[in-house]
Copies of this chain bind each other. A is one copy, B any other.
Amino acid sequence: MKASRRRGGPALGFSGLFGRFQHPAQVVVGVFALTIGIGTLLLKTPMATSAPGSVDWLTALFTATSAVCVTGLVVVDTASTWSAFGEVVIALLFQAGGLGIMTLGTLFALLISGRLGLRARLLAQAERKALGAPNLRRVVRNVVLFTLTVEALAAIVLTVRFSAAYDHDFGRALYLGVFHSMSAFNNAGFALWPDSLTRFATDPWICLTIAMTVLTGALGFPVVFELWRQWRHPRRWSVLTRITVGVTVVLLVAGTLIFLITEWNNPRTMGPMSDSDKLLASFFLTVMRTGGFNTVDLSQLNPSSWLLSDLLMFIGGGSAGTAGGIKVTVLGLMVFMVWTEMRGYADVNIGPRQIPATAQRQAIAITLMGVSLVAVSAYLLVVISPHMLDQVLFEAISAFGTVGMSLGITAALPPAGHLLLIVLMFVGRTGPLTLGSALALRERDRRYELPKEYLIVG
């Protein structure tokens, strides 16, 4: 009776994930696991710590995972625990993680488009134009160029400010500038002060530079690339760019306003600040939904602000960028799906494009995976720790969304809690991408209707 046909083409699904090595999903998981392994070994050496002796294995594994997955959650204070060598290792790990996620995300986007392109040539000339075969070398070159350019610009501003306005000599200012510009662009959230960037809360030079760098990394390479080339022609933007920019702007404006209103009179956070500093702090807090730095004590926010952060962190940034979460594309697509359903249309159209069922299924799969993972993790953390739901939910979503913001309870969790966060960071980083690509790279029957765009949603 089970006459359901197996989809044609190579078996690139979950079943293929373990049976064949050449699947892109395996490449992602393998590369990340390997890099974390190397990082753990390096951070475990006595050379990596400032005090004599070395950290325990769990601390090394947690820190390496947090760095490679560009999260920024820590179980030991970064600046006081690690030596200069240790800090450089951490910086290289999050640089590798950021480059990896951008390169692989961009490649998958092109692979999906290219695959479509091959079939489309047989169907319609119109579809061929926007597409090109993926070119690994060109993609890596462009991603590296983009990364170094943005990081260099941010590092220059930060270095000048650190050396001019604070008590740092030029060498130290340069070190701090480069480290934090890398950390910001990769949305890594690692900072060399125990209270993150709290001391710079009212310094717009530092805050806005960090925020803009985080935002650039979070938008994702394909979107920034398209914005760069088509800045003056929004009508030519792809659906990916439209959704990413649209949802990002809505989240930034709404988040800033709500934080501003709810924290305005909070004496332990923004209450004592001037009005313009309040605006700066609220904007910074909103951007850090992916970045992971903080300029106010997060544990002193109103509980409703934790919930708003939970939502923002869960959504995360753009596809093929350094931010985590389920991605703004997934949220935007689901909003359009609901809107389409409400109006009674059969096809989900965004602008002049129809979104194929594949992308819709990916969006739902990624969201369900995220909600289930976070729910189960929060439950387990409530069981094994003395903390309240508000608090463990914040840390779990911060780990899943590879955000790195913390209410300060991560370090105090029992080892089982640290292992859980390690798993969450790893799955949160690799899951949406591999789930998105694994589902999207399956061959599907398709009829020719409107020209389609294979929107990536991971």
Contact = CB atoms under 8 A, between A and B. Distances in A.
A373 interface: no
Given A334-B368, A349-B2, A344 B7 contact: yes
B342 A15 contact: yes
Interface in A227-277: 262
For this chain, the copies found in one complex come to 2
A393 B389 contact: yes
A6 B344 contact: yes
A307 B344 contact: no
Contacts of A308: 379
A346 B13 contact: no
A344 B304 contact: no
A5 interface: yes
A412 to B, nearest CB: 17
A1 interface: yes
A4 to B, nearest CB: 4
Contacts of A262: 383
A330 interface: no
Most buried by B among A351, A352, A361, A364: A364
A349 B378 CA distance: 32
A75 interface: no
A450 interface: yes
Q: How large is the interface on A (under 10, 10 to 19, 20 to 34, 35 or more residues)?
A: 35 or more
A423 interface: no
Interface string A148-185: 00000000000000000000000000000000000000
A382 B304 contact: yes
Nearest to A334: B368
A382 B307 contact: yes
B379 A307 contact: yes
Nearest to A1: B352
A345 B450 contact: no
Interface in A406-458: 439, 442, 444-445, 449-450
Given A7-B344, A308-B379, 13 more contacts: A3-B449, A3-B450, A4-B345, A7-B345, A13-B343, A16-B344, A302-B383, A304-B379, A307-B382, A307-B389, A334-B368, A388-B388, A389-B390
19 contacts: A1-B450, A3-B449, A4-B345, A4-B349, A4-B354, A5-B345, A14-B341, A14-B343, A14-B344, A15-B342, A15-B344, A16-B344, A302-B383, A307-B382, A338-B365, A341-B365, A346-B445, A388-B388, A389-B393
Interface of A: 1-7, 11, 13-16, 262, 302-304, 306-308, 311, 334, 338, 341-347, 349, 351-352, 354, 361, 364-365, 368, 371, 375, 378-379, 382-383, 388-390, 393, 439, 442, 444-445, 449-450
